[in-house]
């Protein structure tokens, strides 16, 4: 049981209206509803347009109610700092009641039975969410909770071209940009991807977590097929082994005069995929082609040795 509540608020009664928040939530929904192979992922609800404080509180309570193993809260809209915390500004927010304090979300989360909760905030001053000042009942986030924000607690979050900059990059991350070799997209992978999308002069995403494992937010096609990763054990009996190549591995043998060798060519095709994903590298050659044509060899990279160890332990 996996749920997501996607909130996008453009309409405000007492503040400047926004132009990209509904677009952001709407764009993310299909990526979260289905994995890349079209299998079911998250059961999503959209809360967009005019959203009152009561609407948002009711939505959060329903999201974090019992019966789910995983819950994702996404919010795009105005944010405002309040005593070290951040308020998620609702359409009816004003003065001393701008909307929902993130501390209120934390209070609901601490009482929730949902095992893993991921919060993604695309609003100004969003980095104030989950700071020590905002943790009223405990000095740490509850176990299984992660918070990814578009900016630090003292920064604005920008819109451009009818989209939030952070959420536009988030869309690309969910669409495979943040996937690992096996196609897993986790909140930590999202942060690694998004932190590289902004320079030192721009808004800076933040990430806070108290987790002992990372669940997939979405699954994409693996960049290296799982059987190929298992074959690393066969090609490289030890992590430091050099796999010997020769011209029979290269499909283009026009200069070698060799007959076709389909088995070697298939292995070489898989090794090339590993090379493209920084798992394998040629030894003393710049390209795998020349390593094969000049009877050189290839070896595992540090990342390749990591996946070799995973295959050895049976954790792939």
Q: CA-based angle 133:134:140, to the nearest 5?
A: 85
> For residues 51 and 7, is the Cβ–Cβ distance under 8 A?
yes
Handedness of CA 185, 33, 116, 104 (dihedral sign): positive
The confidence score (pLDDT) of residue 138 equals: 46
Q: Which residues have CB under 8 Å from 8's CB, separation 6+?
A: 21, 22, 23, 24, 25, 26, 46, 47, 48, 49, 76, 77
Q: Which residues have CB under 8 Å from 38's CB, separation 6+?
A: none
The confidence score (pLDDT) of residue 257 equals: 59
Q: How far apart are CA 5 and CA 277, in angstroms?
A: 34
286 DSSP β-pair partners: none
> For residues 4 and 42, is the Cβ–Cβ distance under 8 A?
yes
Q: In Å, what is the CA distance from 224 to each residue of 60, 140, 180, 278, 283?
A: 38, 38, 10, 11, 21
The confidence score (pLDDT) of residue 251 equals: 83
The two three-digit tokens of residue 244, written as one number: 């010997």
Structure confidence by residue, pLDDT tens digits, 134-193: 555 544 689 999 999 999 999 999 998 899 999 999 999 999 999 999 999 999 999 999
Fold that domain 2-219 belongs to in CATH? Rossmann fold (3.40.50)
The confidence score (pLDDT) of residue 103 equals: 92
The confidence score (pLDDT) of residue 144 equals: 94
Is the pLDDT score of 38 beyond 60?
A: yes
Q: What's the whole-number mean pLDDT along residues 189-200?
A: 95
Structure confidence by residue, pLDDT tens digits, 225-278: 999 999 999 999 999 999 999 999 988 765 555 677 899 999 999 999 999 999
Sheet strands (E) in 102-213:
116-122, 145-149, 159-160, 163-164, 184-185, 206-210
Q: Could you tell me the end-to-end alpha-carbon distance of the chain, in angstroms, rounded to an integer?
A: 24
Nearest to 7 by CA among 169, 103, 159, 119: 119
User: Element (H or E) spanning 23, and its range?
Assistant: helix 21-33
Q: What's the whole-number mean pLDDT along residues 118-125?
A: 97
The confidence score (pLDDT) of residue 253 equals: 61
User: Element (H or E) spanning 313, and its range?
Assistant: helix 302-313
Structure confidence by residue, pLDDT tens digits, 67-83: 999 999 999 999 999 98
Q: Domain 226-313 classified CATH 1.10.1740.10? A: no
Domain locations along the chain? 2-219, 226-313
Q: How far apart are CA 288 and CA 283, in angstroms?
A: 9
Q: CA-based angle 166:186:222, to the nearest 5?
A: 110
């Amino acid at each position: 049981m996996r749920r997501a509540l996607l909130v996008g608020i453009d309409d405000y009664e007492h503040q400047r209206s926004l132009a990209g928040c509904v677009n952001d939530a709407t764009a993310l929904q299909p990526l979260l509803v289905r994995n890349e192979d079209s299998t079911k992922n998250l059961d999503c609800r959209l809360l967009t347009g005019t959203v009152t404080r009561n609407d948002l509180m009711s939505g959060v309570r329903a999201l974090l109610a019992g019966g789910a193993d995983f819950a994702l809260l996404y919010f795009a809209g105005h944010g405002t700092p309040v005593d070290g915390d951040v308020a998620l500004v609702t359409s009816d927010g004003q003065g001393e009641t701008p909307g929902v304090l993130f501390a209120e979300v934390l209070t609901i989360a601490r009482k929730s039975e949902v095992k893993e909760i991921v919060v993604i905030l695309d609003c100004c001053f969003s980095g104030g969410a989950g700071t020590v000042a905002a943790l009223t009942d405990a000095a740490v986030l509850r176990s299984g909770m992660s918070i990814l924000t578009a900016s630090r607690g003292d920064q604005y979050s920008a819109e451009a071209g009818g989209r939030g900059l952070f959420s536009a990059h988030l869309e690309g991350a969910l669409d495979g940009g943040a996937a690992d070799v096996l196609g897993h997209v986790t909140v930590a992978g999202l942060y690694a991807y998004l932190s590289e999308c902004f320079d030192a002069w721009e808004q800076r995403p933040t990430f806070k977590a108290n987790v002992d494992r990372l669940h997939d937010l979405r699954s994409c096609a693996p960049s290296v097929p799982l059987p190929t990763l298992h074959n690393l054990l066969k090609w490289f009996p030890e992590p430091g082994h050099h796999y010997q190549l020769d011209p029979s591995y290269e499909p283009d043998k026009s200069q070698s005069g060799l007959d076709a060798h389909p088995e070697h060519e298939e292995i070489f095709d898989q090794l090339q995929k590993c090379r493209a994903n920084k798992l394998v590298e040629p030894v003393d050659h710049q390209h795998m082609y020349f390593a094969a044509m000049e009877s050189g060899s290839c070896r595992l990279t540090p990342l390749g040795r990591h996946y070799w160890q995973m295959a050895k332990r049976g954790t792939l």
